[in-house]
Amino acid sequence: MKIIKKNRFLLSSSTPTSDQILTGVSIIPVTMSGIVVIFDFDKTIIDVDSDNWVVDELGATDLFNELLPTMPWNSLMARMMEELHLQGKTIEDIKQVLHHVPIHPRVVPAIKAAYALGCDLRVVSDANTFFIETILKHLGIRECFSEINTNPGFVDDEGKLRILPFHDHGCNLCPPNMCKGKIIERIQGEGKKRMIYLGDGAGDFCPSTKLVEGDYMMPRKDFPVWKLICESRDLVKADVREWNDGEDMECILLQLMASMISIKEMENCVDNNDTNQLLDCKLERIALGALA
């Protein structure tokens, strides 16, 4: 179900911070509903891999490492949930571990600011619905996302967490359970939208090749997708903006969203044909364009 966005604002004179947007300091109302911001989850929204975090925190690392060479990751996680259940670990145990997952303090404000500005936020992740939903709800940002694309994860009648593959596909760049590139193509098919994609892993390379001119790819520096893009830069048509941590992410994301506001949107912000306000909007447009 589509989430209705509220409080779409932009500061004049400079790119707003997340805190300024969220406290209502901004004065120019604009719509950014034509911008889709797509987040990977593990090591992008949170600072760790959620699968590894649960396995390690619940004491199943040795078995995980033993089985890792024998099966695909998605199948391995399904097996690990069975093993944890047999060891007496409950769904509540898993939830409590997920509630303590590490996250950079600027990531949540950045997400809330993008939502407040009216962007359409979505998750595309090779984790699972149970882990992602549990963490996002605990952080108070589940409502910021209109869509979560990930492997199904649900609690069965025995109280065991079951994890299934997202879909079959024929892409040789992606793991057998999910092609993020196909998800991007589906979103592109919804209509003319501009995208900002944030990710870190090798699975984020395929979707980066689906982005078009006018889009932005934000790979986490020194992570697998960044290295793949550096090796095959000609395959990525989007403008590439690397980031290091949550503070970097917040700053760059806000700058990119600001730069993507069109002339038409800025001029539409003026009420009652106020000449002075129109001038302010045009000056703002010029200032934001310089950030691109």
pLDDT digits (tens, 9 = 90+) for 140-183: 999 999 999 999 999 999 999 999 988 766 798 888 889 999 99
- pLDDT in the model for residue 193: 83
Show which residues are catalytic.
40, 42
- pLDDT in the model for residue 259: 82
- Name 243's Cβ contacts closer than 8 Å, sequence gap at least 6: 198, 218, 219, 220, 221, 249, 252
Tell me how far apart the alpha carbons of residues 141 and 151 are, in angstroms, rounded to a whole number: 20
- pLDDT in the model for residue 292: 41
- Amino acid in position 253: L
DSSP H or E segment with residue 289 = helix 275-289
DSSP H or E segment with residue 206 = helix 205-210
- pLDDT in the model for residue 34: 85
Structure tokens at 29: 């109302």
Residue 210 contacts residue 182 (beta carbons within 8 Å): no
Tell me how far apart the alpha carbons of residues 245 and 272 are, in angstroms, rounded to a whole number: 43
Residue 8 contacts residue 116 (beta carbons within 8 Å): yes
Q: 48-56: long-range contacts (C-beta < 8 A, 24 or more apart)?
A: 48/101, 48/102, 50/98, 50/101, 50/127, 50/131, 50/132, 50/135, 51/77, 51/80, 51/127, 51/131, 53/97, 53/98, 53/101, 54/94, 54/97, 54/98, 54/131, 55/80
Among 182, 191, 218, smallest CA distance to 120 is for 191
Among 248, 14, 28, smallest CA distance to 117 is for 28
- pLDDT in the model for residue 16: 63
Structure tokens at 21: 């947007």
- pLDDT in the model for residue 286: 37
Q: Residues in the chain with pLDDT < 70? A: 1-16, 18-33, 168-169, 261-292
Structure tokens at 284: 């703002």
Phi, psi angles (nearest 5°) of residue 99: -65, -15
Domain coordinates of the chain in residue numbers? Answer: 10-45+104-151+168-289
Strand partners, 117: none
User: What's the CATH number for 10-45+104-151+168-289?
Assistant: 3.40.50.1000
